[in-house]
Amino acid sequence: MEEVWQGKREDQNGAGSERWNAAVRNISEMTSTVDSLQNLLLRKAVYADEDAFAQASANSIQARNALALERRVKTLEKELDAAISASVHARTEKRQAEASQRAAEARTQEVLKELENTTKVFKIHTEELRAKQEEIAKKDGEIKVLQAIIQTLTSNGPSRKSDQK
């Protein structure tokens, strides 16, 4: 089995693809040769020698096993390729998810800084409004005092002028 994996790795690297293909062709040729020999023995041979029959039977079984193993190797290669593809796809999705998460975290930090800055600006504006309200209240008080003075002067004013004449 280790040879299969080594052959697969070499095939993927491009170095052993000729050896791999040659081995597969040899197995296919052996299979067809053994099948032909089996057919010949079953149809035309007279089984005079039990050793020859036993050898032919063993070769036939071995050929069938080789064919079954070849099919199993191809199936396993397909499964391996599918697993590799799925793994690559999963890694790509994971990287994309991590990048999205980092971007979301960065955006969250930006929003938090914006909120902090807005809060600071709001506090400054609130303090300015309080100062202006205090100034307005002070000036309103000054206006009321001045109005009272003006009212006092205007009500006292004409009588003074008549007193001075």
Write the pLDDT tens digit of every residue in 81-107.
999 999 999 999 999 999 999 999 999
Greater model confidence, 32 or 92: 92
Domain span at 6:
2-125
The confidence score (pLDDT) of residue 43 equals 66
Q: Is residue 36 part of a domain?
A: yes
Candidate from 33-37, 92-96, 109-113 with smallest mean pLDDT: 33-37
**Residues shown for the chain:** 165
From residue 98, give the alpha-carbon distance in Å to each of 93, 95, 101, 108: 9, 5, 5, 15
Q: Is residue 75 part of a domain?
A: yes
In the chain, where does DSSP find H-type helix? 2-13, 17-44, 50-164
> What is the rounded distance in angstroms from the CA atom of residue 2 to the CA atom of residue 13?
16
Q: Would you say 20 and 10 are in contact if contact means Cβ atoms under 8 Å apart?
A: yes
> Tokens standing for 138?
């002070």
Q: Is residue 144 part of a domain?
A: no
Whether the per-residue pLDDT at 5 is higher than 80: the answer is no
Whether the per-residue pLDDT at 1 is higher than 50: the answer is no
Q: Is residue 134 part of a domain?
A: no
> Tokens standing for 39?
């057919």
Q: Is residue 91 part of a domain?
A: yes
Q: Is residue 33 part of a domain?
A: yes
In percent, the amount of the chain with pLDDT more than 70 equals 80
Whether the per-residue pLDDT at 4 is higher than 70: the answer is no
Specify the number of domains making up the chain: 1
In percent, the amount of the chain with pLDDT more than 90 equals 51
Q: Is residue 109 part of a domain?
A: yes
User: How buried is 105 (Cβ within 10 angstroms: 0-12 exposed, 13-18 middle, 19+ buried)?
Assistant: exposed
Q: Is residue 117 part of a domain?
A: yes
> What is the rounded distance in angstroms from the CA atom of residue 137 to the CA atom of residue 143?
10
